[in-house]
Structure 1
Amino acid sequence: MGDCFDRLSHVMRLFHGVCRLRDLLSRGVSEPEVAAAVGRGELVRVRKGLYATPGADPVFVAARRTRSLLTCASAANFHGLWTLARRDQPPDRYHLLRPTGADRPDAVVHRDTWVAPDPYAPVAGVADVVLHALRCLPELEALLMAESAMHQGISLDFVRERLPGNRNAPARAVLGLVDTGSESPIETLARTHLRRAGLHVETQVEIEGVGWVDALVERRLILELDGKTHEEPRQLDKDRRRDRAAQLLGYPVFRYGYGDVVYRPELFVSEVTRMLGFPTGIDR
């Protein structure tokens, strides 16, 4: 029994807690073993031919039950893509890939698919996820997902070539904003807001005597965009030393957090613009 249970547990983990009977059988788990696991409460029969562990992600279970795949914003966390959504807040509606069949009233349904899905989870392939996001989400949310996908190696040309025609012009415009120099969502948003204000922004710039900075605005103002790691005492001390070194060289340093850039972008841009109006020790 131990070997049977180990094999069954392994397959269920492989499939993220929700698995079709045919996938269990193809991996050496027998129907009597499945039935016994259901009897012991180790598996739940979701529908004919589909089983889940009691602790399986209910979103994965719902997707498998409806023969759908999670995509767009609903698949971002699975693929490690950047988003504006908080992980502890469930969305109002999920995004599903359903090439055929009726639309679900409680979901945003996407029909087109270009690449193979994840082999084990009910999630569309990362290229499909990005393409759906570009055609569906607000501009900045789509940009974050696309740019982080490019960091993972997804080809910008591959994505652009699958967005032909006038209907996809807004999606291609989002791709025009992609700059893989940014290393975090807040850097991407800050760069985009400032460039739209007409400012020259370089990302991840090395300054002699200071080191690498998140962004250099108009070649004379250093912008540092802080995440939670910058709240740690050791990092705070390091940041202060770097700031002093930069200021001694004539560079003003502005530091902003996630909330400043995401929730107060107008104020963020206004402050940076005002600072650039003051004389500094840098002649560029």
Structure 2
Amino acid sequence: MENLLADVARFGGATTRRALYALGHSKRSLQSAVGCGSLIAPARSWVVRPDAHPSIAKALASHGRVAGSTALVTAGVWVTHEDSTWLAVKPGAHCAPLEPGTRRIECAFALDPAAPWRVSILDALAQHCSRASRNDAIASIDSALHKKRIVRSDLQKLARLLPERRRSWLKRVDGRAESGLESILRLACQDEGWSVDVQVPFRGGRLDLVINGWLCIEADGSATHDDEDQARKDRRRNTQLAAIGLRWHRFGYADVIYRLESCIRVIRTLLSQGDPRVHQPC
């Protein structure tokens, strides 16, 4: 049983019975696993682990594949707002009724070879970026690049899948950000005309953003970013940066996602105080 569950996990938590037969598992072992609840059978030819992302069973039960922002989430790609479960079906395909909170896209698509229960990452990005805001779309593309779900040359393919009016967004893609928060802040700062360096090496680590060469910004999305240990790290980093004539500020998840304009006002105020290195005594 453990080997069977491990093999299903290899496919991201769901796979076809045929794929498991090819690996040497018997029809009886699959029936036993489904019968005792170790696997779920949402469709005739598919089995899913109970701990798999819930969208997988929903999509397969509806004769579709996990798509759009939902597919990106299952692949570990940043999605700013996941408000629905998205699934895709081929044009003209028989469609089962949708559950509440589920939305369907009828379109041609390729499957992800590593997880054939979802559309390809390129198709998922195109589906998501056709509906998301500019900042949220670029943050997802940055994330897919950073996590090596796509490579730079894939951007040309992605451009062909996007609506024409959104293709210009690809010029703003960077791919170095470690989180979508950094991408969203980077874009907002660049919109202000400020120069922005991303993931700048500093004393064995990296600074998320450096604006105009001296204002260091960190976008912290961790759940514990306000604990005492983090506060000590913040003070130490601030001291290290001040010692070489730089300034530092940190924004949390809620700041960037819900109060982005306020973040920009804070940065504008800090920049208005001028490069501290200019005022240092000789």
- Aligned partners of 1:220 and 1:36: how far apart in 2? 63
Secondary structure at the counterpart of residue 197 of structure 2: strand
2-side partners of 1:112 and 1:70: how far apart? 13
Q: Which 5+ residue runs of structure 2 have no aligned equivalent? A: none
Structure 1 residues 218 and 122, CA, compared in 2 at 3 Å: closer, same or farther?
same
Aligned AA for 1:186?
L
Tell me the residue number matched to 1:79: 75
* Selected match of 1:97 from 88, 99, 116: 88
1:82 and 1:144 in contact (8 A); partners too: yes
SS in 1 for 2:207: strand
Whether 1:274 aligns to 2:265 is no
Q: Quote the Cα distance in structure 1 between the aligned partners of 2:50 and 2:215.
A: 54
Aligned residues: 272
* Alignment check: 8 A CA contact 1:226 1:258 kept: yes
In the superposition, relative to structure 1, how do residues 17 and 280 fare at CA in structure 2: closer, same or farther (>3 Å)? Answer: closer
Per-residue CA shift, 1:147-185, capped at 9, x if unaligned? Answer: 1111133223323234249x7333322211111232222
* Residue 224 (1) aligns with residue 218 (2): yes
1:126-137 equivalent positions in 2, closer than 5 A: 126-137=121-132
Letter paired with 1:214? D
> Residues 101-180 of structure 1 correspond to what in structure 2 (within 5 A)?
101=93, 106-114=102-110, 116-120=111-115, 122-153=117-148, 154-164=150-160, 168-180=163-175
Distance in 2, Cα, partners of 1:13 & 1:161: 30
Q: What is the percentage of aligned positions where both structures have the same residue?
A: 23
Change (3 A) 1:54 1:158: closer
Query: In structure 2, what is the Cα distance between the partners aligned to 1:237 and 1:192?
Result: 29
Counterparts of 1:36 and 1:213 in 2: how far apart (Å)? 52
> Which moves more between the two structures, 261-270 or 7-16?
7-16
Q: Compute the displacement of 1:192 (Å).
A: 0.8
Does the 8 Å CA contact 2:139/2:180 hold for their aligned counterparts? yes
Distance 2:164 2:176 in 1: 24
Q: Give a deviation string over 1:194-238, Cα, whole Å, max 9, x none.
A: 11122222222346x897422221223222223436445444323
Deviations 1:81-126 (A, max 9, x none): 112137xxxx3x3222323315666413152335x42444512222
Is contact 2:140–2:180 with CA below 8 Å preserved after alignment?
A: no
Q: Secondary structure at the match of 1:81?
A: coil
Contact kept? 1:210, 1:242, Cα under 8 Å: no
Amino acid at match of 2:128: A
Tell me what 2:64 maps to: 68
Q: Is this contact kept in 1: 2:146–2:177, CA < 8 A?
A: no
Q: Give 1:72's aligned amino acid.
A: G
Given that 2:65 and 2:88 are in contact with CA atoms closer than 8 Å, whether structure 1 keeps it comes out as yes
Partner SS, residue 159 of structure 2: coil
- Given that 2:142 and 2:175 are in contact with CA atoms closer than 8 Å, whether structure 1 keeps it comes out as yes
1:26 to 2:17 alignment: no
Judging changes above 3 Å, is the alpha-carbon distance between structure 1 residues 173 and 251 closer, same or farther for their aligned structure 2 residues? same
Larger radius of gyration: 1
Separation (CA, whole Å) in 2 of partners of 1:37 and 1:224 = 47
In the alignment, the residues of structure 2 paired with residue 281 and residue 174 of structure 1 have an alpha-carbon distance, to the nearest angstrom, of 34
CA contact 1:223–1:254 (8 Å) conserved in 2: yes
Q: Comparing 150-159 with 140-149, which one deviates more in the overlay? A: 150-159
